[in-house]
Structure 1
Amino acid sequence: MSSGYGLNGGPSRCFPFWQEVLACYVVNTSSEDDSGKKKCVPVLEDYYECLHHKKEASRVRALQTAYRKAEAAQPRDNVPPAGAIQNLGLLNKDDDSKAVLGK
């Protein structure tokens, strides 16, 4: 929150970024001239990234897409067949129950 108070009291995680934005505006603008706001665009972008995480989310999506693409291009060699996966007791449940119960 730009108010500076987090959910549990104390400063919020983005409050330092908000202070940088305000400091930039104070230094670069005046009541007569707003042309200095252009200098504050990078600081404002940092604040918005702290609030919304849009750049981080797009990077994560790009990494996941690249990982899935690489994984699909090289299939696994030693994939066990579905019948061999019995340790969860979901496939061939009757056989596993008999083995465990000793019947």
Structure 2
Amino acid sequence: MASGYGMYGGVGRCFPFWQEVLGCYVANTSGDDPSGKKKCALALEDYYECLHHKKEHARAVALQEAYNRRGHSAPRDDAPTANQIRNLGLLGKEEDTKKVLGTP
């Protein structure tokens, strides 16, 4: 809240951001020339993000979508078989080891 008081008393979560916005406005604007407000856009954006968490939510949604896409992707075509993996490092099974590790 812009009042500075949090929900349960004390300093509010976003009050420091609000103070930064007000300080920027005081330093960059005057009654005659309000064009200095453009310099405060980043501070105002930080304050809105603190209030609404829109960017944080968008990142979480994008991460979840990427995770879901990754889970539904097709398996590798050249993936080793279970039998080749079981034979790793065994004597007489050097060909399987070379196929799995990709060494000549």
TM-score (norm 2): 0.70
Q: CA deviation at 1:74?
A: 5.1
Q: How does 1:1-103 map to 2 (within 5 A)?
A: 1-73=1-73
Note the aligned Cα RMSD (angstroms).
1.0
CA distance in 2, matches of 1:25, 1:63: 35
Kindly provide the amino acid, as one letter, of the partner of residue 25 in structure 2: Y
Q: CA deviation at 1:36?
A: 0.2
Report % sequence identity.
67
Q: Which runs of 4+ in 1 moved over 2 A?
A: none
Q: Which runs of 5+ in 1 are unaligned?
A: 76-103
CA distance in 2: counterparts of 1:40 and 1:64, whole angstroms: 33
Q: Give TM-score, length-normalised by structure 1.
A: 0.70
Alpha-carbon distance in structure 1 between the residues aligned to 2:44 and 2:13? 15
State how many pairs are aligned: 75
